[in-house]
């Protein structure tokens, strides 16, 4: 047998069978025989049985390849087990060559070739969802993504003076509507929810713009008009409504809006019989303007009405006794034709701050030897102080001179009504 001697300097080159891939598909390589496809760069090992170009023959390729991203299935030229990327998917050629080489039926889908985008995180071969740290999204105990707590800070910015809601006539996604100046959010009978002016509220609730469209309001509470008890409403010079108890005129005068009269009078001052006793709060005053306190409610036994600002009183000279302290010529006026005058008044403080006349009257002697004649009575409205009380006093003169502090007058005073 011929032999070759190989020494230390001998170079041996081993070549394998080669040809085009088409040549390979037409033959069957011997068992252990290697074949190189010069046009595809692939190496195969034969088994002596399976011809190239068949599923079993091509499966004898030495090593599989990743073919990269291809433009079509047919253009991949993939052998059994070769992988490639196409349209974002990762494929492998079926080892049994089933299906068509030109479409997905001839390939196994291995997975999706992805790149992590917004909201996706790939770490240590694990794909997870990125969520915000504010708590609006969270995972429940089963690992499901759920909506957590959403705070006002999580919402987008709105325009000034605007609201978020459904402002249509049906089901719709939320919208943002701005409320105009001097307007409220609401709707009339002919509009959807939106910005409504006060004029629309007052004059156009039925969409006609006529006075018939004015709204009917029940159970309305206006806190600015609150107070003690019931009071009438009045409009001040600015057209603003206010309680009558708070209303005053331009010069500080009290404005009354309601009056009530009792079915009978209640005596507040004077004797209750033919003598000076018994009496109520006294029976006489000196004509020098000194004051006596009157509590009309305690004296009369009537509960003070809520919001009361004044009382109606009737005053008269006491005709059961002589009003100036005398009943004959000798103890009457100083001389015949002498005259004494009186003005009874009410006040809430002093004469300098409040003077409210009740009536004026007088007494005198028409002729020598005759009894004194007296007359004087009237009804008046007296303003009360903050406690619901007032004071009374009288001013008197004699024969037209200045106030006479020595003249004592006797009279009676009655409560006949009140004012709010």
Please report whether residue 341 resides in a domain: yes
Domain shared by 267 and 395, yes or no = yes
More confident residue, 401 or 85: 85
Please report whether residue 239 resides in a domain: no
Q: What is the mean pLDDT of residues 19-39?
A: 88
Q: What percent of the chain has pLDDT over 70?
A: 79
How many Å apart are CA 340 and CA 362, to the nearest integer?
5
Which are the contacts of 205, defined by CB distance < 8 A and separation ≥ 6? 188, 189, 213, 214, 215
Contact 263, 415 (CB under 8 A): no
Q: Is the pLDDT of residue 324 over 50?
A: no
How confident is the model at residue 210, as a pLDDT? 60
How many Å apart are CA 338 and CA 205, to the nearest integer?
75
Name, of 26-30, 214-218, 359-363, the range with top average pLDDT.
26-30
How confident is the model at residue 411, as a pLDDT? 86
Q: What is the DSSP letter of 307?
A: T
Number of domains in the chain: 4
On average, the pLDDT of the chain sits at 80
Q: Is the pLDDT of residue 337 over 50?
A: no
Q: What is the mean pLDDT of residues 117-126?
A: 73
Domain range enclosing 384:
259-419
The first and second tokens of residue 301, run together, are 């036994």
Q: Is the pLDDT of residue 336 over 50?
A: no
Domain shared by 128 and 79, yes or no = no
Rg of the chain over Cα atoms, rounded to whole angstroms, equals 58
How confident is the model at residue 266, as a pLDDT? 96
Contact 172, 193 (CB under 8 A): no
Domain shared by 290 and 411, yes or no = yes
Name, of 180-194, 215-229, 262-276, 372-386, the range with top average pLDDT.
262-276
Q: What is the mean pLDDT of residues 294-317?
A: 94
What's the pLDDT band for 328 if we cut at 50, 70, 90? very low
Q: Which of 24, 17, 100, 106 is nearest to 57 (CA)?
A: 24
Domain shared by 124 and 139, yes or no = yes
How confident is the model at residue 21, as a pLDDT? 87
Please report whether residue 80 resides in a domain: yes
* Distance (Å) of CA 410 to CA 342, 343, 362, 377: 10, 12, 11, 12
Domain shared by 133 and 201, yes or no = no
Q: What is the pLDDT of residues 259-272, one digit of tens each?
A: 999 999 999 999 88
Domain shared by 294 and 412, yes or no = yes
Contact 160, 177 (CB under 8 A): no
Q: What is the pLDDT of residues 63-113, one digit of tens each?
A: 888 989 999 999 988 888 899 999 989 999 988 888 898 999 999 998 886
Please report whether residue 11 resides in a domain: no
How many Å apart are CA 331 and CA 343, to the nearest integer?
22
Q: Is the pLDDT of residue 384 over 90?
A: yes
Domain shared by 104 and 124, yes or no = no
Q: Is the pLDDT of residue 291 over 80?
A: yes
Q: Answer left, alpha or beta for residue 198, where phi above 0 means left and psi between -120 and 50 means alpha.
A: alpha
Please report whether residue 219 resides in a domain: no
Q: What is the mean pLDDT of residues 303-309?
A: 92
SS3 state at 86: strand
Please report whether residue 187 resides in a domain: yes
Domain shared by 322 and 413, yes or no = yes
């Amino acid at each position: 047998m011929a032999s070759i001697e190989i020494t230390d300097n001998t170079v041996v080159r081993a070549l394998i069978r080669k040809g085009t891939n088409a040549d390979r598909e037409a033959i069957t390589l011997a068992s252990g025989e290697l074949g190189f496809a010069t046009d595809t760069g692939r190496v195969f090992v034969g088994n002596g049985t399976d011809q190239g170009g068949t599923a079993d023959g091509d499966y004898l390729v030495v090593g599989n390849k990743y073919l990269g991203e291809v433009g079509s299935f047919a253009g991949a030229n993939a052998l059994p087990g070769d992988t490639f990327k196409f349209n974002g998917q990762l494929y492998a050629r079926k080892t049994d060559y089933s299906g068509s080489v030109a479409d997905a039926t001839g390939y196994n889908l291995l997975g999706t070739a992805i790149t992590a985008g917004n909201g996706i995180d790939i770490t240590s071969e694990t794909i997870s969802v990125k969520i915000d740290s504010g708590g609006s999204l969270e995972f429940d105990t089963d690992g499901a993504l759920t909506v957590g707590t959403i705070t006002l800070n999580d919402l987008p910015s709105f325009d000034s003076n605007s609201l978020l809601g459904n402002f249509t006539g049906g089901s719709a996604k939320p919208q943002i509507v701005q409320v105009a100046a001097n307007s409220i959010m609401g709707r009339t009978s002919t509009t959807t929810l939106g910005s409504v002016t006060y004029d629309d509220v007052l004059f156009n609730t039925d969409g006609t713009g006529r006075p018939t469209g004015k709204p009917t309001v029940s159970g309305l509470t206006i806190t600015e008009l609150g107070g003690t008890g019931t009071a009438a409403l009045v409009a001040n010079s600015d057209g603003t409504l206010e309680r009558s108890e708070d209303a005053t005129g331009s010069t500080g005068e009290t404005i009354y809006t309601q009056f009530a009269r009792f079915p009978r009078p209640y005596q507040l001052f004077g004797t209750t019989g033919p003598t000076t006793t018994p009496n109520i709060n006294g029976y006489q005053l000196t004509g020098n303007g000194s004051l006596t306190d009157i509590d009309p409610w305690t004296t009369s036994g009537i509960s003070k009405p809520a919001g009361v600002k004044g009382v109606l009183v009737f005053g008269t000279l006491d005709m059961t006794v002589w009003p100036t302290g005398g009943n004959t010529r000798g103890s009457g006026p100083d001389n015949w034709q002498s005259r004494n005058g009186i003005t009874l008044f009410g006040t809430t403080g002093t004469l300098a701050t409040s003077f409210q006349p009740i009536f004026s009257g007088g007494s005198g002697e028409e002729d020598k030897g005759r009894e004194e004649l007296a007359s004087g009575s009237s009804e008046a409205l007296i303003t009360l102080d903050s406690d619901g009380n007032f004071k009374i006093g009288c001013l008197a003169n004699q024969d037209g001179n200045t106030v006479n502090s020595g003249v004592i007058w006797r009279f009676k005073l009655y409560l006949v009504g009140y004012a709010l």
